Amino acid sequence: MFLPLFTSYTTDLITCATNFFKDLYSNELLNTFTILFSEINSLQTNTSETTIIKERDVWENIKKLKRERSPGPDGLRNEALIEGAQLLTGPLTRLFNSVLRTGIIPEQWLKSDITLLYKKGDPLDIANYRPISLLSSVYKLFTSIIHSKINSIIDSKQTVEQAGFRPGFSTMDHIHTIEQVIEKYSEFNKNLYIDFIDYTKAFDSIHHSSIWQALHNCQIDPTIVRTIKNIYQNSVSRVKLEVRGDEIKIARGVRQGDPLSPKLFIAVLQCIFSKLNWISEGIPINNERLTHLRFADDIAIFAETPEKLENMISQLNKESKQVGL
């Protein structure tokens, strides 16, 4: 992707960054899932007992909030929620259930500020800045509760190859597995081919329609799917330094800083891998086939010949493009 340059003036930086993110988050393709899920908002959904948010849910999640965090565009800090928990728990519970019941999203929840942190290198190159997205604290409280309701469901659909964003799994487990595989193949003097894949801007790139497909595959409650869809369809952001830039329509990718985003991403990735015809691919391990290992968007693919490895990469690339990766 072309990375534009900017001058030292703040207004030029904001304009340049705004144009960059407009390009990054634009949705240039209409994939097949869009049509399949275009009418999800018109579905008559009833809030099930398991979906209803209780005051206990709100109270417990407020107590988990961390202090000294930057606020979103509404300026409301976590400290206000923490100190006012006893007074706010009831009203917030009613608000959250109203959002689930009606599908109407508060306007402030749809907005985010993008701040830029300089990393290193040429200060005139926007690639040397790390974007930080700031969302409403109330919104993140809401999605942290939704996360607790869908977390175990999405995890249950994951295969053992995925170790990212899952309790009880660690990247060290995968590293240990790779080391053992390499050691055994070296011991028996057998050919082993491993390809390490890291998607470029993976979390910023996936089509929103692929998220709805993934949630549908996981059999997530339609009320929750509709709510998340309404949030994503209307999300906007602005680059903020001393002032804010123009609005940027967020037409793809998961929301940075949102408690839901990691789970949404690995749900989409699972959809990709479930479509791959890798039954006879990979390498033999204890009467099974080890085809790959995943930690979020970092992937290791295994094969015993370069031709088989290339075929696996080609299949993965084809399916990945379908969801925007």
Q: What are residue 285's DSSP bridge partners?
A: 288
Per-residue model confidence (pLDDT) at position 58: 98
Residue with tokens 């497909």: 213
**Range 207-228 burial, b when 16+ CB lie within 10 A, else e:** bbbbbbbbbbebebbbbbbbbb
Per-residue model confidence (pLDDT) at position 66: 96
Kindly give the residue spans of alpha helices, DSSP state H, lying in 41-121. 55-63, 78-83, 85-102
Per-residue model confidence (pLDDT) at position 47: 56
pLDDT (tens digit per residue) in 60-70: 999 999 999 99
CA neighbor of 214 nearest in space, from 76, 322, 63: 322
Q: Where are the beta strands (DSSP E) in the chain?
A: 111-118, 129-135, 193-198, 236-239, 248-249, 283-285, 288-290, 292-295, 298-303
One digit per residue, the tens of pLDDT, for the chain of length 325 reads 444 544 454 676 677 777 777 777 776 444 444 434 444 444 445 556 678 999 999 999 999 999 999 999 999 999 999 999 999 999 999 999 999 999 999 999 999 999 888 888 877 677 788 889 999 999 999 999 999 999 999 999 999 999 999 988 989 999 999 999 999 999 999 999 999 999 988 999 999 999 999 999 999 999 999 999 999 999 999 988 777 788 889 999 999 999 999 999 999 999 999 999 999 999 999 889 999 999 999 999 999 999 999 999 999 999 999 999 9
Per-residue model confidence (pLDDT) at position 122: 79
Residue with tokens 């999640």: 61
Per-residue model confidence (pLDDT) at position 129: 82
